[in-house]
Amino acid sequence: MGWEPLLDFVEAKGGSAGIVLTDPGAADDVEWPAPARARWKHIVDPSRQDAMQGLTDALVLERPDAVLLATDLQGLEGGLHAAMHQVPQRPAVVGAQHGFFQDWGRYKQLSGFDAFLTYGPFFQAAVADDPRFVAAALPKVDRIRHRPPTRTHGRVLLAPGTHFNPKLVELVLRLKEGHGLDVVVHLHPAARDLQESLSQYDFVLFDRRSDLNEALSGVDGVITAGGTITLEALAAGRPVAVLPFQRGEAYDQAGIVADDFSPESSLSIFKKFKDDPFRAKAKDFLAATTGSGTHNRSRIVYSKLIDIIKETQRKKASSISVIERDERDSDKSIAISDLVSGLGPTFFSIDQLSQLRHHPESTVEVLRTAYYEAIVSDRAKNWDGLYDKWVLFPHPSGPMLWLRLGDTVSHGIIRRERDDRITKFILSRLTPGGTFIDAGANAGWFTLRAAQAYKELGEGRVVAFEPQFQLYDHLLKSVEANGFGALVEVHRMALGDEDRSVRMSDGGRNSGGSFVLNDPAGSRGSVPMRRLDDLPIPVKSRVDCMKLDIEGAEPLFAAGARDFIRRHRPSIVSEVNTKKLRNVSRYKSEDYIRLIEDMGYKTCVLKSDAALRPFERSSLETSRGVIDVVFEPRL
């Protein structure tokens, strides 16, 4: 129970905490320190068909503010939504790291979680692209007392994880017979069935009811298969060698992985701990993997949980009233619960309707799930009636956006398709006090993510341009909803090569497809086009990045922004759409690319990890004439 000490801390702070055990046989493995003032415990047998009901009963009875699931996707996560439907007040649902190794990809696919806690920054770095993952700490390590070795015990603790193969048997025998060492075998809780098979050997098995601190202080070193007992041993100040199996190589960064299964290899690692720099390296690794180098890990996790609970409650409150009021058409001024009730089972499943009845605050999540299902079924046609309905969508990445439900761009944001390499690249270019230019802002995804980043950096400015009135109007509301008014300015205009009035095409259900028409603009539906060089753009220190997605008008923009680009030399992220470049600007793709390169830039494309690689002209052919490129200033 790596997280169980957290419950002690919660109670010490005046709260109540408890455990729902999904394995009755594991109840004896859980330490219940006395006095457990407000501790509650529920045992749920996963073999029963009504296991989910057991979890639901516990949640209904206790009404917690947060549920921390540390079951490595082996327990009740699959029915989590069903349980949440019946809880009077939905708690914050937080996934917790379970063991040193974690298949984070599987966790990313679960939309029912508000956040995931990792043991420390070492693990969070692998999932830094998902804001739901929070670097926390490993509370159970706080129970380990650091005791520098004072004498030689002639004893080694072996923690083989969940396996005990012939190589491990040979290792124990050679440690005993070849080196004269006593070996204590510490089995993983999930390997209790190995005790009987090991009885044929004269091995000493660690009694899990014994004090691990005493066991660690009474050995000269610990040999592990790479589990979290490795971290506990390091915290106790013991030399540790990790065997090269069960992915033990993950400890390479600490330099404690043995070359092979021979006793000599592990004992050579033990000797390295006599070196001060080596011990310092192991200590740094311990801090990175457990969240702290001192005994305050439960405090760290508690603080993170409080922040998650507050943020979950804020988002829950903000998502209840989500449909914009249309003063001209009262029929459109409906609550979202009325909207989904009107669509009913023709669009939503029975389970989804049940969730909506019990939890109206979950409607945004249900809409997202329903859309996933609709795109692969004939229910997709029901989205036609939602085209003029706007929803304030709290995105998992942080910002809230006003989105039009029937719009393709909105669908991409709801389905998290915009959380891609372009977003990562743009955010990587932002610096404190910098400026980001968003030309063709649409619903404001890049505008709001950049504003969010500048707010975290301390200062910065976002200047957004969007000519379509409804998008411009709702982008202003999104800026207001996030409290970004001091960071963002939004202009309703197109950017081009001269000052004039233009008309925009009707993008229909794809607002991102609207482009500048070449026919003369009349008074009806026209918008101003301006040259960026003529606008008073606020630049405090530097222009970090510009994003251009203006449907073929990019060469017109560049012609009207030559001085600005040459003066500030920002990174430029641009769509290259061969067909629209030809129709709108009368440019070939290669001519547009050459236009920017002649301003002192090189052309690159983004790899999946947002790293840059050189652009190849053949890419336009393989991309069917539409590709995103990055223009980087030449040194």
Q: Lowest mean pLDDT: which of 25-29, 195-199, 482-486, 592-596?
A: 25-29
* pLDDT (0 to 100) of residue 522: 42
As a whole number, the mean pLDDT across the chain is 76
Query: Residue 552 — very low, low, confident or very high, per pLDDT cuts 50/70/90?
Result: confident
Query: Residue 203 — very low, low, confident or very high, per pLDDT cuts 50/70/90?
Result: confident
The pLDDT tens digits of the residues spanning 265-314 come to: 999 999 999 999 999 999 999 999 999 888 889 899 989 999 988 887 77
Summarize the confidence of residues 381-386 as an average pLDDT.
48
* pLDDT (0 to 100) of residue 345: 43
Instruction: Please spell the DSSP secondary structure of 400-462, one letter per residue.
Output: EEEEETT-HHHHHHHTTTTSSHHHHHHHHH--TT-EEEEES-TT-HHHHHHHHHHHHHS--EE
Q: Is the pLDDT of residue 335 over 80?
A: no
Q: Is the pLDDT of residue 323 over 50?
A: no
User: What's the CA gap between 400 and 481, in Å, rounded?
Assistant: 7
* pLDDT (0 to 100) of residue 263: 93
The pLDDT tens digits of the residues spanning 123-155 come to: 888 888 788 889 999 998 988 988 877 677 789
Where does residue 564 rank: exposed (0-12), middle (13-18), buried (19+ CB within 10 A)?
A: buried
% of the chain residues with pLDDT over 70: 67
Summarize the confidence of residues 437-452 as an average pLDDT.
93
Q: Is the pLDDT of residue 1 over 60?
A: no
Strand order in the sheet with 601-606: 488-491, 461-465, 435-439, 543-548, 571-577, 626-633, 601-606, 612-614
Say if residues 198 and 172 touch (Cβ distance below 8 Å): no
Instruction: Please spell the DSSP secondary structure of 30-99, one letter per residue.
Output: S--PSP-TT-EEEE--TTSTTHHHHHHHHHHHH--SEEEE-STTSSSGGGHHHHHHHSSSPPEEEEE--S
More confident position, 377 or 482 = 482
Summarize the confidence of residues 467-471 as an average pLDDT.
84
* pLDDT (0 to 100) of residue 193: 65
Tokens representing residue 48 in the block: 């029963």
Summarize the confidence of residues 168-192 as an average pLDDT.
83
Quick one: which H or E segment has residue 105? helix 104-108
Summarize the confidence of residues 78-105 as an average pLDDT.
67
User: What's the CA gap between 601 and 623, in Å, rounded?
Assistant: 22
CA 306 to the chain's CA centroid: 18
Summarize the confidence of residues 461-472 as an average pLDDT.
89
Tokens representing residue 538 in the block: 């606020």
More confident position, 78 or 460 = 460
Q: Lowest mean pLDDT: which of 167-181, 222-236, 385-399, 523-537?
A: 385-399
The pLDDT tens digits of the residues spanning 248-263 come to: 556 888 899 998 899 9
User: Mapping DSSP to helix (H, G, I), strand (E, B) and coil, where does residue 266 land?
Assistant: helix
Task: Return all residues near 221 (Cβ < 8 A) that are at least 6 apart.
Answer: 156, 157, 238, 239, 240, 241, 266, 267, 270, 273
> Could you tell me whether strands 626-633 and 571-577 are parallel, antiparallel, or unpaired per DSSP bridges?
antiparallel
Query: Residue 341 — very low, low, confident or very high, per pLDDT cuts 50/70/90?
Result: very low
User: What's the CA gap between 316 and 492, in Å, rounded?
Assistant: 32
Q: Lowest mean pLDDT: which of 37-51, 151-165, 409-423, 554-568?
A: 37-51
Q: Is the pLDDT of residue 111 over 60?
A: no
Where does residue 470 rank: exposed (0-12), middle (13-18), buried (19+ CB within 10 A)?
A: middle
Q: Lowest mean pLDDT: which of 32-46, 279-293, 326-340?
A: 326-340
Say if residues 90 and 112 touch (Cβ distance below 8 Å): no
Q: 230 φ, ψ to 5°?
A: -60, -45
Summarize the confidence of residues 379-391 as an average pLDDT.
53
Q: Lowest mean pLDDT: which of 177-186, 291-300, 348-357, 581-590?
A: 348-357
Query: Residue 43 — very low, low, confident or very high, per pLDDT cuts 50/70/90?
Result: low
Q: Is the pLDDT of residue 317 over 80?
A: no
Q: Lowest mean pLDDT: which of 51-60, 378-387, 398-407?
A: 378-387
User: Mapping DSSP to helix (H, G, I), strand (E, B) and coil, where does residue 606 land?
Assistant: strand
* pLDDT (0 to 100) of residue 334: 32
* pLDDT (0 to 100) of residue 36: 43
What sign does the dihedral 370-374-379-380 (CA atoms) show? Answer: positive
Q: Lowest mean pLDDT: which of 106-120, 384-398, 447-461, 575-589?
A: 384-398
More confident position, 120 or 247 = 120
Closest alpha carbon to 213 in 192, 187, 237: 237
User: What's the CA gap between 51 and 93, in Å, rounded?
Assistant: 18
* pLDDT (0 to 100) of residue 208: 64
Query: Residue 351 — very low, low, confident or very high, per pLDDT cuts 50/70/90?
Result: low
User: What's the CA gap between 591 and 617, in Å, rounded?
Assistant: 12
Summarize the confidence of residues 216-221 as an average pLDDT.
89
Distances 282 to 273, 277, 303 between C-alpha atoms, Å: 9, 9, 26
